[in-house]
Amino acid sequence: MSPRTSPPGDREAAQVAGAPLRADAARNVAQIRAAAIAAFRGRGLDTPLEEIAAAAGVSKATIYNRFGGRAGLIDAVIGKLVAAEMYAIMDKALQVADPWQAIATYVTDRRDLQYREPAFTDALLMTYPDSGQLAAIATAAIDMTISLVQRGHDAGVIRRDFTAEDLYYADVANGLALRKLPRPARQDYDRRIRFFLDSLRPR
């Protein structure tokens, strides 16, 4: 069972083109999207909607009109935020022939994404299960770790007692620390990634 690496229902065209938006509504959608991306980057997916609305120059109610609520807004921008990169990271890892290198590449790239986009941790945690895109990312990420760890065990390149859950737990822990603590210097962060990778090798 190799994991899915593309989103189930890619709705880049936010509105599904059921009915064309009026000019002012379309303009607002664009402004809200831009504001949401910036806000989610800076403060996480739990940024107050009122703040996003203010940044977009509209009223809070307009976000509800256009996106239905937070989950809809997340669905509309998560692709730009993390989904695209996440699926690229998974594809890249799947193409690495050496089982250990596949794991190392995947873990390194994923931690890098986590460092640059804290919102990715929200995806892992399924903080907003109402967002289909978010749930899809979480599922795909979990499938991916299961697959990679299986490959690693078959090839004997990771310690026997290491499980996919261990990897998931470690990534979530790292993401939570990134949000609560002052962001570590990149060199410290990278060093800790090396520690973690080293701890996976057979003894």
Partner DNA sequence: GGTTAACTTGACCCGATGGTTAAGTTAACC
Partner DNA sequence: GGTTAACTTAACCATCGGGTCAAGTTAACC
Distance CA 62, CA 132 (A): 21
Residue 196 within binding range of its own copies, rule CB under 8 A: yes
d(CA 115, CA 109): 10
CA dist 113 and 178 (Å) reads 12
39 binds DNA (CB under 7 A): no
Among candidate residues 61, 65, 59, the one with its CA nearest the CA of residue 15: 65
Q: Of residues 150, 169, 183, 186, which one binds its own copies by CB under 8 A?
A: 169
Nearer to its own copies, 79 or 175 (CB): 175
Interaction mask 118-147, its own copies, x per CB under 8 A: -------x----------------------
Rounded least distance, CB 125 to its own copies, Å: 6
Return the amino acid letter for 162.
Answer: F
80 binds, among DNA, its own copies, none (CB under 5 to 8 A by kind): none
Q: Which two tokens stand for residue 165?
A: 């859950």
Q: Is 24 in the site for DNA (CB under 7 A)?
A: yes
Q: Which residues contact 194 (CB under 8 A, 6 or more apart)?
A: none
Cβ at position 173, least distance to its own copies in Å: 4
Pick 22 or 203: Cβ nearer DNA: 22
Sign of the Cα pseudo-torsion (147, 150, 155, 159, in order)? positive
| Helix pair 99-116, 186-200: axis angle to 10 deg | 150
86 and 120 Cβ atoms separated by less than 8 Å:
yes
How far is the C-alpha of 127 from the C-alpha of 68, rounded, in Å?
A: 17
Q: Are 197 and 104 in contact (CB under 8 A)?
A: yes
**With binding defined as CB under 7 A, does residue 165 bind DNA?**
no
23 binds, options its own copies, DNA, none, Cβ within 5 to 8 A by partner type: DNA
Count residues near its own copies (CB under 8 A): 26
Nearer to DNA, 67 or 115 (CB): 67
What is the closest distance, in whole angstroms, from the C-beta atom of residue 131 to its own copies in the complex?
18
Which spans of this chain sit near its own copies (rule: CB under 8 A)?
125, 159, 161-163, 165-166, 169-170, 172-174, 176-177, 180-181, 184, 188, 191-192, 195-196, 198-200, 203
